[in-house]
Amino acid sequence: MTGSLTARLVLRRSLPPTRLFFSRGVSLPATEKTKDAVPAVPELPAFDYTPPAYSGPSGDDILAKRREYLSPSILHFYKTPLNVVEGRRQYLFDDKGRRYLDGFGGIATVGCGHCHPDVVAAVVEQTKRLQHSTVLYLNHAVADFAEALASKLPGNLKVAFFTNSGTEANELAILIARLYTGCHDIISLRNSYHGNAAGTMGATAQSIWKFNVVQSGVHHAVNPDPYRGLFGSDGEKYARDVEEIISFGTSGNVAAFISEAIQGVGGIVELAPGYLPAAYSSVRKAGGLCIADEVQAGFARTGSHFWGFEAQGVVPDIVTMAKGIGNGIPLGAVVTTPEIAKALTHRSYFNTFGGNPVSTAAGLAVLRVIEKEKLQENAHVVGSYLKNRLNELKDKYELIGDVRGRGMLLGVELVTDRQHKTPAKNETLHVMDQMKELGVLIGKGGYYGNVFRITPPLCFTKEDADFLVDAMDYTLSRM
């Protein structure tokens, strides 16, 4: 299969650059070209698996059904959408058997790798015994997972409530904070994304993710963005805005402050050093709780730590999580202290599928795989290597304005003018499309849609990292 892919790519290389460029229908401004030789077409690393022949519906048939029967709000990547039919480890396969390196991980969700045998076995075995009952009955799966999860968290963070998604988890965390403190005001960061339900849409601070509905009681603080922010990497200066919001925008008391340590949807923005300790201090003085949204940064993805907030040396009052928690199984959680958890006992609060035995069995398997295969260490070592290689591309191409993030949570921001940091949205779409043709899948994000989100499975290898960077290098060299 690798040979046939290479043959197809060699044919593409014979095309004149202008023909390849305009065949995508994108008009791009001129950018500074490297004086180095044009890179060779990269080859996909070897992999010892070939999927069986696919006999299902074509991509066109599926797209037609989506258009007729699914919400028009559901979008897809690429001009020609990818029909993914199988996955193994860090690779995906389309309906024609072609292999792709997955640099997006289902939006930072597939941590252990696609169809990891240990996770699959846990799901299958639990499904055979008991697929669903209710947490109103006893079952060891949910209790075992809750205990294992508590062992991964600092301080007295040990009481879990399970949900089905990150949005649900953040929604519940905000509710708990309001109940516990008796206050309504929530502070979140500009450029943040916390979900698309009522409370979480209010906490989200990007207009492209917000509808014109009532979103009360939320204040958005200045984002401590080292690349685009006013104060560079001085986290304490940004944190003063939190204190001013409390003083001038509230009664002086707040319910909570919620933030990601590295903004995912916002474009892999790592908060300026020192920001969270200062912000947490101001919020706690105002009687509020500190919520860490670990939906994307959690479960060893940052490599240096198991949780993103740990890099800032803080211990939150509530931690929310999803995505990597189940390696793709719908699962989320809110973990807090026993005292704060009691706030939910003042009325009845229930979730039919929260703590489902199949989902929690998968969650426990994920924790065990991370430990057994040393995926946190791999995320750190390979992620650091990948980031260094991406920084080499930044030195080579003016189009790359910034490389940032940690471990397997990396962002590459494209700009047409480095001084003015003009977003290169069309160029981003073009590079994504061309990298797909080379066999590499990456995501995009940021308010302007000009940031590559590189969030692969944590089993990524250095060979995979080289292939991803070489594909980006090859694509940029032909623009």
Q: What is the pLDDT along the chain (479 residues), one digit of tens a residue?
A: 444 333 333 333 333 333 333 333 344 444 444 445 778 999 999 999 999 999 999 999 999 999 999 999 998 999 999 999 999 999 999 999 999 999 999 999 999 999 999 999 999 999 999 999 999 999 999 999 999 999 999 999 999 999 999 999 999 999 999 999 999 999 999 999 999 999 999 999 999 999 999 999 999 999 999 999 999 999 999 999 999 999 999 999 999 999 999 999 999 999 999 999 999 999 999 999 999 999 999 999 999 999 999 999 999 999 999 999 999 999 999 999 999 999 999 999 999 999 999 999 999 999 999 999 999 999 999 999 999 999 999 999 999 999 999 999 999 999 999 999 999 999 999 999 999 999 999 999 999 999 999 999 999 999 999 999 999 999 999 98
CA nearest neighbour of 257 among 224, 232, 306:
224
Angle at 61 between CA 58 and CA 63, to 5 degrees: 110
Contact criterion met (CB below 8 Å) for 101 and 386: no
Sign of CA dihedral 21, 24, 25, 31: negative
H helix intervals, 136-225: 140-150, 166-181, 198-203
The confidence score (pLDDT) of residue 38 equals 77
Rounded CA separation 54/391 (Å): 39
- Is pTM, for the whole model, over 0.85? yes
**Burial of 399 from C-beta contacts in 10 A (0-12 / 13-18 / 19+):** buried
Residue 142 structure tokens = 């949910």
| Residue keyed to tokens 């965390």 | 173
CA nearest neighbour of 476 among 406, 405, 409, 395:
395
Rounded CA separation 60/82 (Å): 10
Sign of CA dihedral 240, 188, 348, 148: negative
Residue 80 structure tokens = 């020609």
